[in-house]
Amino acid sequence: MASPSEVAELLLGLVRSRLPTLGQSRLLCIDGPAAAGKTTLAAAVAELEPDTAVVHVDDLLDGWRGLSTVAEAVDALLRPLARGEVGSYRRFDWDLYRFAETVHVRPQSLLVLEGCGAGSRAYADLATVIAWVSAPTDLRVTRGVERDGERLRDRQAQWLADEALLFAAEDTRARADVEVDGTGHRPPTLRTGP
């Protein structure tokens, strides 16, 4: 069994072993399907690395059907950071179902970008490490209902279909540096080479 903190230590070791790719900073992209354990892992990384900013891709999406434009929104945040400037994005308020305030992200030694689409090819040149987190679909559906409530089950079904299309187009799992079992039952798999 691998705990989130053990996986976070492994990811940080890999990130630190590589040169900065986001200006003078490093970018850890934690991607994978909904409710696989990405947010938990991102929090574990931030707990171990003090100078870390965490950005949740869900905050950049334009609602339930926003996965198709996630790469553009994230790219707009990351390019200024790569130049050593403050990046920003409009946070999507899921309760009000509209964009809310602008969030500014200053350059830090590590930026963790977590969520579906975090490992997009559009900004692969800026990624230091890509981690793919997965879990069985039935477990993810159960986690999603526990987190979001039964009232969103129909939305969740559409989301699963949308994320499958995104992942097929991006081939993120195959491009990931590390594959993580979101159940914690198997140790992470490190990939070497292309």
Per-residue H/E/C for 99-120 = EEEEEEECCCCEEEEECCCCCC
The per-residue pLDDT of the chain, averaged, comes to: 91
The residue-averaged pLDDT of 68-96 equals 94
Is-contact 33 134, C-beta < 8 A? Answer: yes
Whether residue 10 lies inside any domain: the answer is: yes
Q: What is the DSSP string of the chain?
A: ---HHHHHHHHHHHHHTS---BTTBEEEEEE-STTSSHHHHHHHHHHH-SSEEEEEGGGTS-STTGGGGHHHHHHHHHHHHHTTSPEEEEEEETTTTEEEEEEEE---SEEEEESTTTT-GGGGGG-SEEEEEE--HHHHHHHHHHHH-GGGHHHHHHHHHHHHHHHHHH-HHHH-SEEEETTSSS--EE----
| CATH value at residue 168 | 3.40.50.300
Measured in residues, the chain has a length of: 194
Instruction: Report whether pLDDT(148) > 90.
Output: no
Average pLDDT over residues 15-38: 95
Is residue 72 situated within a structural domain? no
For 44, the domain range is: 4-58+109-190
Domain-located, residue 30: yes
66 within some domain: no
Higher-pLDDT residue of 191 and 78 is: 78
> What percent of the chain stands above pLDDT 90?
70
Residues 6+ apart with CB under 8 A from 180: 2, 7, 32, 37, 41, 131, 132, 133, 134, 188
Residue 129 has pLDDT above 80, yes or no: yes
Structural domain count, the chain: 1
Q: Domain for residue 150, yes or no? A: yes
Query: Residue 137: which pLDDT band, with cuts at 50, 70 and 90?
Result: confident
Is position 64 within any domain?
Answer: no
- Whether residue 145 contacts residue 156, with contact meaning beta carbons closer than 8 Å, is answered with yes
Q: Is residue 80 part of a domain?
A: no
Quote the pLDDT of residue 152: 65
In a domain, 74, yes or no: no
Residue 50, pLDDT above cutoff 70: yes
Report which of 55, 74, 167, 177 is spatially closest to residue 113, judged by C-alpha positions: 55
